[in-house]
Amino acid sequence: RKEVEQDPGPFNVPEGATVAFNCTYSNSASQSFFWYRQDCRKEPKLLMSVYSSGNEDGRFTAQLNRASQYISLLIRDSKLSDSATYLCVVNPYPFSGGYNKLIFGAGTRLAVHP
């Protein structure tokens, strides 16, 4: 089983749609969770961290379910500019103060069309 698994997509949605991505992780001791966005031929950029209580940033909502070991990202009112690959990222190691190794999912591609 992969450490972090995502549906590769692509998700093709019209502008204004709501779209949700899920991601599962294998290590129950994982401590930190993130969603990154990667535009075509560009570097990944941090979109948002994911907190246990769930968090929202404008049109984006991230949820963490520790019991089921999955993370979700919800995008409301999709824009053309949301078209990108969304990477689910997990830190599988307990906080140790000296080491920080993130595991990246392969990404889910989103294409928003007019």
Which of 16, 46 has the CB closer to other proteins? 46
Q: Residue 38 contacts by C-beta under 8 Å, 6 or more apart in sequence?
A: 44, 45, 84, 85, 86, 87, 107
Q: Which residue in 110, 30, 113 sits closest to 74, CA to CA?
A: 110
Q: Is residue 105 a contact residue for other proteins (CB under 8 A)?
A: yes
List the interface residues with other proteins, window 64-93 (CB under 8 A): 87, 89, 91, 93
Q: Kindly state the smallest distance separating residue 71's Cβ from other proteins, in Å.
A: 14
Q: Which residue in 102, 85, 90 sits closest to 7, CA to CA?
A: 85
Q: Is residue 42 a contact residue for other proteins (CB under 8 A)?
A: yes
The site for other proteins (CB under 8 A) is made up of 31-32, 34, 36, 41-46, 49, 87, 89, 91, 93, 95-102, 104-107
